[in-house]
Amino acid sequence: MELTKNPNVLKWLEEMTALVKPAKTVWIDGSAEQLKALRDEAIATGEMEELNQEKLPGCLLHRTRPSDVARVEGRTFICSRRKEDAGPTNNWEDPKVMYEKLGKLYDGVMKDRTMYVIPYSMGPIGSEFSKVGVELTDSIYVVLNMDIMTRMGKDAFKQLGDESNDFVRGLHSKANIDENERYICHFPEDNTIWSINSAYGGNVLLGKKCFALRIASYQGKNEGWMAEHMLILGIENPKGEVKYICAAFPSACGKTNLAMLIPPEIYKKKGYKVWTVGDDIAWLRQGPDGRLWAINPENGFFGVAPGTNAKSNFNALESTRKNTIFTNVAHNLDDNTVWWEGLDKNPPKHAVDWKGNPWDGTASTEKGAHPNSRFTAPAINCPCISPEFNNPNGVPISAIVFGGRRAKTAPLVYQARDWQHGVFVGSIMASETTAAASGAVGVVRRDPMAMLPFCGYHMGDYFGHWLEMGKKLGDKAPKIFNVNWFRTDDEGHFIWPGFGDNMRVLMWILDRCEGKADAVETPIGYEPKPEDINLEGLDLSLDTLKGLLDVDKPLWKEDVKGIREFYGKFGDRLPKELADELNKLDKNLD
């Protein structure tokens, strides 16, 4: 039965139906009975496996093809009408050409399949921040994941209304999961996403990276707000006051971990608490008070499994103990549970690995779980979920933090001198690549604001939009910082303990925002006085900390060359302010 009378939805649905020619169409209303029936069907066909319902109630396991385990940046396109609007950092194709090419792949692709019509809202129903999408898909895995990750079902159509045309049109088909014909295409000017031949995460859960970042970043530029690859967390002091921080780190660089951190004993005993608002995406706009406010448009966590354990991220692990979907982890056959590298020191002896092969946890060098294996967990499962999680107005942001994986160069923390300098600091971010996208791992690349794979338009214009937002916010703008948890010693070990202890750095950041801490001026920005980072209870000397804060001028000089080369790509779309900041940095280093 149709769930909306909205003629824009119905007309588009009619066109798409004529294209993919499904055997059957099912509207997803989001009801418990419907979801139960879909789970049962996926279990019956073997698409998903039901896990131990005592230990992991409501949990399912899914394996994707070994050639379909991560985002595919090389096959992700921004199809704006003009090539220059996609910019030098995106793959581009003419929308007409791409629609025609994919039209052939979609033609009749669902003739033996059911097409699910998924209405969903990114952001709480009723919030001014929120936006509606409709995803058409032939995958039950997608439906069940979208249920966790978004506000899915008939309320989303209420949010849209009977007339509005402001919804994102998403079309997904697994087709044959043929990697040579895999395409993740965005048509920002048409509010449209077409994804084909993948069944994995960020390629197919179209509300996430495709809509909430690529399409939304373009909408944000036009409408005066921002869509960013950022976690949102709140730190509550012993007086009960909560301050909020957004942080942008590239994929698999620690957002989920930071968002759910457990304070070190020294803060815990004083009564500090940490609250998670979001772990991956933030939508930010100026509030009536002139400050920058943020919501998390998602409703769950699509988190990296390996490395997650009771010590590194207790809250994430807890979040996965019920109603969670596990993708590409190892299956422990002894008790029908899941396992991944870094969960504990006891890999199961009698297991199936992420490829579906028998695995005994010891003999082979093969991993049990894929490095980019994931859990999809409802946000409400998280023990430290913020009471403001569903607040339609979002939360006010005090600080914006950028960061990446840098073995050298970037110090533990530094502060930008002002908003413009902060935009520069974000724009020059670099990080070692991770397993979250297909391709080589550990290669340093420029990843401005952690948005390189997610910016839906010309990155030079994106920098310009950041500068514009700063002008609007004026002296109410959040302060901007850069962190690096990943500096290594000569043996390649991480020097900074990281995880919960990152709170020590966040505390200096908040003190700076409130004018309570001093700083030292360096060529790259303000750094803490080493004694202002609280090391109590840590096995780390003040000298080691000084080393972590060291600015190695020859290395930075090298970096300036790299930045100049990167900036060169943007031609005259690079804001002059950023070119000026680069020259200033170059001079400061002499």
Bridge partners (DSSP) of residue 60 are 50, 325
Candidate residues 186, 255, 421, 504; the one interacting with ligand GTP per rule CB under 6 A: 255
In the complex, minimum distance from the CB of residue 232 to Mn ion, in angstroms, rounded to a whole number: 13
In the complex, minimum distance from the CB of residue 204 to ligand SPV, in angstroms, rounded to a whole number: 9
Binding of ligand GTP at residue 340 (CB under 6 A)?
no
Candidate residues 68, 135, 147, 280; the one interacting with Mn ion per rule CB under 5 A: 280
Q: Please report, as a single letter, which amino acid is at residue 223.
A: E
Binding of ligand SPV at residue 201 (CB under 6 A)?
yes
d(CA 529, CA 521): 10
Q: How far is CA 139 from CA 193, 339, 457, in A?
A: 16, 25, 29
d(CA 515, CA 208): 36
The answer to whether residue 253 is catalytic is: yes
Positions in 430-449 near ligand SPV (CB under 6 A): 436
Element (H, E) at 580: helix 576-588
Name the one residue in this structure whose structure tokens are 């952690």.
450
Q: Closer CB to ligand GTP, residue 298 or residue 353?
A: 298
In the complex, minimum distance from the CB of residue 158 to Mn ion, in angstroms, rounded to a whole number: 29
User: Quick one: angle between helices 95-106 and 7-20, nearest 10?
Assistant: 60
Bridge partners (DSSP) of residue 303 are 375
In the complex, minimum distance from the CB of residue 184 to ligand SPV, in angstroms, rounded to a whole number: 10
* Neighbour count for residue 295 (Cβ, 10 Å): 28
Binding of ligand SPV at residue 76 (CB under 6 A)?
no
Binding of Mn ion at residue 501 (CB under 5 A)?
no
Number of residues that bind Mn ion (CB under 5 A): 2
Tell me, residue by residue from 230 to 249, as one string, x for binding to ligand GTP by CB under 6 A and - for no binding.
-------------------x
- Most distant CA pair in the chain, distance: 70
Q: Closer CB to ligand SPV, residue 206 or residue 242?
A: 206
Only one of the segments 56-64, 254-262, 388-396, 578-586 lies at the binding site for ligand GTP (rule: CB under 6 A); that segment is: 254-262
Q: Closer CB to ligand SPV, residue 230 or residue 469?
A: 230
Candidate residues 87, 202, 220, 278; the one interacting with ligand SPV per rule CB under 6 A: 202
Candidate residues 251, 276, 323, 427; the one interacting with ligand SPV per rule CB under 6 A: 251
What are the φ/ψ torsions at residue 302 (nearest 5 degrees)? -105, 85
Binding of ligand GTP at residue 303 (CB under 6 A)?
yes
d(CA 211, CA 209): 6
Binding of ligand SPV at residue 405 (CB under 6 A)?
no
Only one of the segments 5-13, 100-108, 246-254, 400-408 lies at the binding site for Mn ion (rule: CB under 5 A); that segment is: 246-254
Residues 6+ apart with CB under 8 A from 244: 232, 233, 234, 235, 277, 294, 395, 396, 397, 398
Residue number closest to ligand SPV, CB atom: 202
Q: Point out the catalytic residue in the list 59, 253, 382, 513.
A: 253
Residues 6+ apart with CB under 8 A from 553: 523, 589
Candidate residues 85, 280, 447, 461; the one interacting with ligand SPV per rule CB under 6 A: 280
Binding of ligand GTP at residue 324 (CB under 6 A)?
no
If contact means CB under 5 to 8 A according to the sort of partner, which of ligand GTP, Mn ion, ligand SPV, none does residue 499 touch? ligand GTP
C-beta separation of 57 from 377 below 8 A: no
Candidate residues 88, 307, 361, 523; the one interacting with ligand GTP per rule CB under 6 A: 307
Binding of ligand SPV at residue 172 (CB under 6 A)?
no
Name the one residue in this structure whose structure tokens are 């003190």.
511
If contact means CB under 5 to 8 A according to the sort of partner, which of Mn ion, ligand GTP, ligand SPV, none does residue 274 touch? none
In the complex, minimum distance from the CB of residue 494 to Mn ion, in angstroms, rounded to a whole number: 21
Q: Estimate to the nearest angstrom the gap between the alpha carbon of 481 and the chain centroid.
A: 19
If contact means CB under 5 to 8 A according to the sort of partner, which of Mn ion, ligand GTP, ligand SPV, none does residue 331 touch? none
Four-point Cα dihedral 487, 490, 494, 497, nearest 10: -100
Number of residues that bind ligand SPV (CB under 6 A): 9
| Concatenated DSSP letters of 259-282 | HTPPPPHHHHTTT-EEEEEESS-E
Q: Nearest Cα to 19, choosing from 184, 179, 173, 192? A: 173
d(CA 46, CA 62): 9
User: Quick one: angle between helices 419-427 and 576-588, nearest 10?
Assistant: 80
C-beta separation of 62 from 199 below 8 A: no
Exposed / middle / buried, residue 573 (Cβ in 10 Å: 0-12, 13-18, 19+): middle
**Interacting residues with ligand GTP (CB under 6 A):** 249, 251-257, 279-280, 303-304, 306-307, 312, 436, 485-486, 494, 498-499, 502
**Interacting residues with Mn ion (CB under 5 A):** 251, 280
Instruction: Give the residue numbers marked as catalytic.
Output: 253
**Interacting residues with ligand SPV (CB under 6 A):** 71, 201-202, 208-209, 251, 280, 302, 436
